[in-house]
Amino acid sequence: MTSPAELLGQSSLSGVRVLEVGTSVAAPFGAQILGDLGADVVKIERLDVGDDTRKWTPPAWDGVSIPFLHVNRNKRSVVVDYKTDAGRAVMEELIAGADVLIQNLRPGAFARAGFSAERLRELNPRLVYVEMTGFGRTGPRAAQPAYDPLLQAYSGIVSMTGEDGGTPARVPVSVLDMGTGLWLVIAVYEALRRRDVTGVGTHVETSLLQTALMWMSGALMGVAAGHAAPRRLGSGFPGVVPYGAYPTSDGHVFLSAGNQATWLRLLEAIDSQDLDSREGFGSNPDRAANRETVNAALGERTSRFSTAELVARLEAAHVPHSPVQTVDQVLADEQVAALGQIQPLPHAQIPDLRVVNMPVTFDGDYPQMRLAPPELGEHTTEVLAELGHDAASIASLLDAGVIQTPTALEEEQTA
């Protein structure tokens, strides 16, 4: 038994075994969070290639795909071809000993391989089965595969993103993939709590489209209430002007003036009190009606300053603001450094690997970084040994090409 003190030093998920039959971003990200929180996550990968993201280069870090690296730490990699009889038997052993199984294969593919929800329940009534799809569990498009930006477009997010009068843009972070990963973690915790009481697992279903509708809940309710569909406003906000990113001599600064006092302090801060008396500039409703004219005039004034100078003036004047930082500036930022969230993680191929820990501390501590993102099949032998396979059994499965290890993969490549 783990003592309470030891447990607090680790996480409540120590001892919880999670199988990830996942690829790309959503399922791997959700499983990574469970791994960060102490679960033993075993990632089941395909023969020869593994997770699709292993090939998503550029960008790479010392030759390893960054799309793979950022969602696959704190887990072990096992390569098994569960479409063969011997591989299916190994998979069934893994399922029998697991607490959670997360999969985001093409809709129906896992069931066709012999692992329907009903079959999983037979193999392990305590299993929490998380099934993630693009378009959701039912409906005319349920069988269609999909990915993050397509569903940003389908769900209305793209229609709202980009410049006023310009073409639609996409959100450049994986709000649907990573967002669905967050929801599935919540669902796993909930299902584990239910199991504590009932003794049986739950079939959890989630999808990119459902996650998108949740992000869009305010916008959807607005239209349901009879308002017009939201339009693109660049960095702006309906009904408040000034609001958004304004140019400087060397970049942009985001600022807002939500009331008249802030508007006047802003004008004083940038030596532009004259703007207040211009026709259509004097009140927020007027400014909102003359959005383009006001923003152009204000941008002409803000562009007289460097970003650093404008930030200093807005800070002194208590006008809400932020520099529009580029990613290299964020990485060098002192506030970001102070938070300690970007952390080194020892990796055989990448001496300087750094990763972003989860945005949560528990009594001041982030979860522990335990395992580097694995090589394809790095833990095949180890995990099979834990299942009780002896050396002869493992060698036989390797020879049959049912399982793979990094050594076997290298030999194959040089053969």
List, by residue number, the catalytic residues: 177
Distance CA(10)–CA(12), nearest Å, equals 7
Q: Which single residue is written with the structure tokens 């069931």?
A: 111
User: Is 170 in contact with 158 (CB distance < 8 Å)?
Assistant: yes
Distance CA(204)–CA(128), nearest Å, equals 7
In whole angstroms, how close is the CB of 339 to its own copies at the nearest point?
5
Nearest to 208 by CA among 227, 183, 226, 190: 183
How does 375-386 read in b/e, with b if 16+ C-beta sit within 10 Å? bbbbbbbebbee
Q: Alpha carbon 262 to chain centroid distance?
A: 36
3-state secondary structure of 84: coil
The tokens describing 296, both together, are 């152009």
In whole angstroms, how close is the CB of 395 to its own copies at the nearest point?
37
Which one, 44 or 187, has the nearer CB to its own copies? 187
Q: What is the largest CA-CA distance in the chain?
A: 87
Distance CA(172)–CA(53), nearest Å, equals 17
In whole angstroms, how close is the CB of 337 to its own copies at the nearest point?
8
Nearest to 189 by CA among 369, 34, 390, 407: 34
Give the angle 365-370-373 at the CA atoms, nearest 5°. 125
In whole angstroms, how close is the CB of 82 to its own copies at the nearest point?
25
- From residue 265, alpha-carbon distances to 41, 76, 160 in Å are 54, 56, 31
Q: At what angle do helices 177-198 and 26-36 cross, to 10 degrees?
A: 50
In whole angstroms, how close is the CB of 63 to its own copies at the nearest point?
10
In whole angstroms, how close is the CB of 83 to its own copies at the nearest point?
23
227: how many CB neighbours lie within 10 A of its CB? 11
Please give the radius of gyration of the chain, using alpha carbons only, rounded to the nearest integer.
26
Distance CA(270)–CA(311), nearest Å, equals 11
The tokens describing 79, both together, are 């390569």
Cis peptide before 242 (omega within 30 of 0): yes
In whole angstroms, how close is the CB of 273 to its own copies at the nearest point?
25
In whole angstroms, how close is the CB of 382 to its own copies at the nearest point?
27
Which stretches of 22-62 are assigned E, i.e. beta strand?
40-45, 60-61
User: Is 187 in contact with 130 (CB distance < 8 Å)?
Assistant: yes
User: Phi and psi (nearest 5°) for 401?
Assistant: 75, 20
